[in-house]
Amino acid sequence: MKETGILMSAPMVKAILEDRKTCTRRIMLPQPHIEQGILRWDKWKNTKSFVSINMTDHPDLAIPYCPYGQVGDRLWVRETFRINIIGGVSYKADENESWIGKWKPSIFMPKKFARLWLEITGVRAEHLQDIDSWDCIHEGILQKYYSRFHNMFIDKPNSQLISEFHVPWDSINAKRGYGWDTNPFVWPIDYKRVK
C-alpha cells in the first residue's frame, strides 16, 4: 500500500472533518493532448517513453498513472500547522482568526503530524469542466443555503454549486495556467476517512 502526502487548505480540511468532502481534483501533470479520442503524452514523468490511452474504449487504463495512488492506497493530509511552545501541534483549520503567531505552510508538514488519513476509493481522469453538481457536493460545497424569506434551508441551483467550486479552483490554479477556463485534465480522487 502506497502512502502519499496531499496538500489541503484549511477550508478543505474543515470540510473533511465535517464529513462533507469525499473527493478532490488534482491537475494531471503533464497534460495530455487528444488525437481521435485517444489521450497522448509525448513525454511522461521525465522519461522518453510515449504513452497513449484510448479513453473511449478503455477509460480505466488511465488509473495506473495517477501519482497520488490507486484504490486502496492512502493519502495523509498536509495542512497548515504550528508546533506549540508547551508541546503538541495545532492546526489552522481548528483555530479562530485571533492567533497572531506564525503558521507553517502545509507543504512543510511532516508525516508524523498528520491527523487525517484518507483511503482512495476511486480515481479517474477527466476534464475539469466535466464536474457536475453531485461532484461539487462531494468536493465539500454546501448543498443548501438558509433563506430568511422562506425561513428554511433551500437547495442551491446546480449552476451555483459549480460556480462555488470553480471560484476557489481558480484562486489556487489559474495563476499556474490551469484555471477553469482552460479546462485541464484532472485526477478526481474519491476517498474515505480512515478513523
Contacting residues for 34 by C-beta, under 8 A, at least 6 apart:
40, 55
pLDDT tens digits, the chain, 195 residues: what are they? 999 999 999 999 999 999 999 999 999 988 887 776 666 666 555 444 444 555 555 554 544 478 999 999 999 999 999 988 888 899 999 976 666 678 999 999 999 999 999 999 999 889 999 999 889 989 998 876 555 555 555 566 678 888 889 989 999 999 999 999 999 999 999 999 998
Report if residue 141 sits inside a domain: yes
Report if residue 102 sits inside a domain: yes
Write phi, then psi, for 12 (nearest 5 degrees).
-65, -45
Report if residue 123 sits inside a domain: yes
Q: 11: domain range?
A: 3-29+67-194
Cβ(111)–Cβ(81) under 8 Å?
A: no
For 82, the 3-state DSSP assignment is strand
Report if residue 53 sits inside a domain: no
**CATH assignment at residue 175:** 2.30.130.30
* pTM confidence score: 0.81
Report if residue 54 sits inside a domain: no
Report if residue 62 sits inside a domain: no
- How many structural domains compose the chain? 1
**Of 59, 54, 35, 32, residue with least CA distance to 43:** 32
Report if residue 155 sits inside a domain: yes
Report if residue 50 sits inside a domain: no
